[in-house]
């Protein structure tokens, strides 16, 4: 236990005393002990000073047997003022009970019942034990401990063996329970993420109670465990699930049998071999375990001991198949290494992006293994934050990170790529069609200056504005309809099929942009009778049609217009015409004759009405397929985005009713949850609370046939979007 007091309590006993603890559990235990009259005062490398019921006492600290995630316990050896040697040990109940003296059997049974009750309350439990040591045996052990601590090879293994020698035949003191409340908004956040079709696995170190005597595993009407209570309290496990499988076997074969039986219950037709999709990317072979269809929702709870067998190489795919068929997966009593192994298993064998979120040092390996690591800053320290890609103070902010900013960013990136490919493919294909008329020589269809600054000036800023500010719906509607996140998971915004559609659209647009101006200018004269069908006039017309057509396409792709978007788009077009008239002027030709040969082309071509009619016609023909396709799909096969955007337009069309005014009255409320107060100098009490499960309510579909615009002006908090629902 690493705790440091912050004030001089001896000089001012009534002053406030604060503790800086390595973990919240240690701080809570020390604070609770202080409230009962045992005040931890100070600690040095050799001593520990406490005040026991007002009597100052100093213990000599002889050895510290450090905690690690394999030992799951920590011990100290101290000498009291009378010279008595004692070892005190705290740790996980299962670990402590294995090292107790037979005389503690009866007390262990009573303590086990208490631990089950505490776990049912959702509390984090620890067991405590002690052992009186003989002076001679301790000195002998101390010498071997010193040799192990300075060993150059296998130091950790040697220290663990030395610790194991002395940490046996312990006498049970009792157990402690510390409330570890869920942060505000955790159940709502997990419920929203589940609606977004995001698979959520909980990897926790909380304890597991033996549930082999449960009469009904489906409903879990038995003494449950802390991890299961967390699952219920955060809406991961629900009573309406068909079955919740609990894997708590002690051998590899039993674990395999339980996993196979669970998989067969969920999908009787599933075969022994997992469905694997093989692929090759950049010369590397990879295999992905495909999802299997399941009728209904199931849950899986597995403890760390069974998980160790399930993570063996010959059983990994069986664990992955069974877990992926479940709606909720909870792994309890897992070590940091096991957390990282579970994440690596999913990352390697599933075609999915993994995100790991944690708040403590034991989550660092998991956070670093996942594709995206998120750290929560709080009382657990800053190790998780320093190892993460994103960090914030509350778990509920994950909802905004994924459903709002994550979805917006992915949508913007896909739009950026689609538009980037479209404008450049169209630009290039026009050259291809021109090759049939120039004999595939080095002659370009555009002016050389236009080719140089097409991507640099004319089309760069508008697409940047799109990729920075565009959003299909605002954050409020994104929260209310988390199903909007699903199309991104299905690669509907950008895929091989989407790329093929872009290629076809670019090919069609290039045909329009080349052959319509060519046909319109062939054998054409100006108003004054002069010939307009020259190379320079055609090049100017083709590049002007191209730039306006791709700008209109950008406007069709933009859902959310801002002043910046408008400035970038209209500014780029203005810059194009300004640069064109400048470079094609007489002055530039006189200064740089060889570099600006298009003298007077802009002035002589763009003042003709038929030129602007050609520009208008090509723009309409290029945009017509996109507009027609979107109109037909919205009417015949609307997507989730189309439905929600229609809902947004309905909400904007109906004015909100005026707010009702109520007479103000004074209402006194209790500000504190305690029924009594404490004198100055005491710390916070460690309280307890029960978790209440909220019954599942039926949620209305997005477009019920009987809804009215007035009733829909204020969206509901949670809704389920039905893909088959028809638009009103």
The candidate with the shortest Cα–Cα distance to 621, out of 514, 536, 523, is 514
Residue 666: C-alpha distances to residues 663, 671, 672 (Å): 10, 15, 18
Binding residues for Mg(2+) are: 359, 363
Are 444 and 536 in contact by the 8 Å Cβ rule? The answer is: no
Q: Are 363 and 336 in contact (CB under 8 A)?
A: yes
Residue 205 · residue 333 · CB < 8 Å: yes
| CA pair distance 538, 152, nearest whole angstrom | 81
Q: Which residues contact 461 (CB under 8 A, 6 or more apart)?
A: 568, 571, 572
Query: Crossing angle for the helix pair 316-324 and 336-349, nearest 10 degrees?
Result: 80
Question: Using CA atoms in the order 60, 65, 66, 68, what is the torsion angle rounded to 10 degrees?
Answer: -160
Choose among 361, 362, 360, 344: nearest CA to 352. Answer: 344
- CA–CA gap between residue 657 and residue 203 (Å, rounded): 47
Tokens of 302: 């597995």
Residue matched to tokens 């299909």: 472
Close Cβ partners of 241 (under 8 Å, ≥ 6 residues apart): 218, 296, 297, 298, 299, 327, 328
d(CA 107, CA 57): 29
Q: Which residues are annotated as a binding site for ATP?
A: 26, 67, 90, 124, 204-206, 333, 339, 362-363
Length of the chain: 728
Q: Rounded CA gap, 310 and 304, in Å? A: 10
Q: Which residue positions form the known binding site?
A: 26, 67, 90, 124, 204-206, 333, 339, 359, 362-363
Distance CA 485, CA 489 (A): 7
């Amino acid at each position: 236990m690493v705790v440091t007091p912050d004030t001089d309590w001896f000089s001012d006993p009534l002053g406030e005393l604060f503790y800086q603890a390595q973990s919240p559990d240690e701080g809570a235990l020390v604070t609770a002990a202080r409230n009962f009259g045992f005040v931890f005062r100070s600690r040095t490398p050799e001593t520990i000073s406490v005040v026991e019921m007002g009597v100052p006492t100093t213990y000599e600290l002889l050895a510290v047997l450090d905690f690690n995630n394999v030992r799951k316990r920590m011990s100290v050896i101290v000498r009291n003022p009378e010279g008595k040697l004692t070892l005190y040990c705290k740790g996980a109940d299962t670990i402590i009970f294995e090292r107790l003296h037979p005389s503690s059997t009866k007390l262990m049974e009573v303590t086990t019942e208490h631990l089950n009750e505490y776990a049912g309350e959702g509390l984090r439990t620890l067991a405590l034990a002690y052992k009186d040591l003989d002076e001679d045996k301790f000195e002998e052990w101390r010498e071997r401990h010193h040799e192990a601590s300075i060993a150059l090879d296998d130091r950790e293994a040697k220290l663990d063996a030395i610790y194991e020698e002395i940490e046996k035949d312990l006498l049970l003191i009792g157990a402690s329970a510390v409330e570890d409340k869920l942060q505000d908004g955790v159940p709502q956040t997990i419920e929203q993420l589940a609606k977004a079709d995001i698979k959520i696995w909980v990897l926790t170190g909380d304890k597991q109670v033996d549930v082999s005597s449960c009469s009904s595993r489906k409903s879990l009407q038995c003494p449950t465990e802390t991890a299961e209570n967390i699952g219920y309290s955060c809406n991961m496990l629900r009573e309406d699930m068909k079955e919740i499988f609990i894997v708590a076997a002690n051998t590899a074969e039993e674990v395999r049998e339980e996993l196979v039986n669970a998989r067969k219950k969920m999908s009787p037709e599933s075969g022994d071999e997992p469905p694997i999709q093989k692929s090759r990317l950049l010369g590397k072979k990879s295999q992905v375990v495909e999802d299997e269809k399941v009728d209904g929702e199931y849950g899986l709870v597995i403890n760390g001991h069974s998980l160790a067998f399930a993570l063996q190489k010959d059983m990994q795919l069986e664990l992955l198949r069974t877990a992926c068929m479940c709606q909720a997966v909870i792994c309890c009593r897992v070590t940091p290494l096991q957390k990282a192994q579970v994440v690596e298993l999913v990352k390697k064998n599933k075609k999915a992006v993994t995100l790991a979120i944690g708040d403590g040092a034991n989550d660092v390996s998991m956070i670093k293994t996942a594709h995206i690591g998120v750290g929560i800053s709080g009382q657990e320290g800053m190790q998780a934050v320093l190892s993460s890609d994103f960090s914030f103070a509350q778990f509920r902010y994950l909802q905004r990170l994924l459903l709002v900013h994550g979805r917006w960013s992915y949508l913007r990136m896909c739009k950026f790529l689609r538009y980037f490919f479209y404008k450049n493919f169209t630009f290039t294909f026009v050259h291809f069609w021109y090759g049939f008329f120039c004999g595939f020589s080095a002659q370009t269809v555009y002016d050389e200056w236009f080719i140089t600054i097409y991507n640099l000036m004319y089309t760069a800023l508008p697409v940047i504005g799109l990729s920075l500010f565009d959003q299909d719906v605002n954050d409020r509607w994104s929260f209310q309809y988390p199903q909007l996140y699903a199309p991104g998971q299905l690669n509907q915004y950008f895929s091989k099929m989407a790329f093929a559609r872009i290629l076809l659209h670019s090919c069609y647009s290039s045909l329009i942009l080349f052959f319509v101006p060519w046909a319109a200018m062939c054998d054409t004269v100006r108003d004054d009778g002069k010939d307009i069908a020259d190379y320079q006039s055609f090049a100017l017309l083709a590049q002007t049609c191209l730039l306006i057509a791709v700008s209109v396409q950008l406007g069709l792709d933009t859902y959310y217009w801002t002043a910046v978007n408008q400035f970038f788009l209209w500014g780029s077009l203005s810059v194009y015409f300004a640069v064109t008239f400048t470079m094609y002027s007489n002055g530039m030709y006189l200064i740089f004759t060889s570099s600006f040969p298009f003298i007077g082309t802009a002035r002589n071509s763009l003042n003709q009405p038929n030129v602007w009619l050609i520009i208008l016609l090509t723009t309409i023909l290029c945009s017509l397929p996109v507009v027609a396709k979107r109109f037909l799909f919205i009417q015949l096969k609307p997507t989730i985005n189309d439905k929600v955007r229609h809902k947004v337009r309905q909400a904007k069309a109906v004015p909100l009713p005026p707010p009702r005014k109520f007479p103000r009255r004074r209402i006194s409320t209790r500000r504190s949850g305690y029924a009594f107060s404490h004198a100055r100098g005491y710390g916070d009490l460690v309280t307890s609370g029960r978790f209440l499960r909220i019954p599942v309510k039926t949620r209305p579909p997005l477009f019920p046939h009987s809804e009215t615009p007035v009733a829909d002006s204020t969206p509901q908090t949670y809704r389920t979007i039905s893909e088959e629902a028809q638009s009103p």
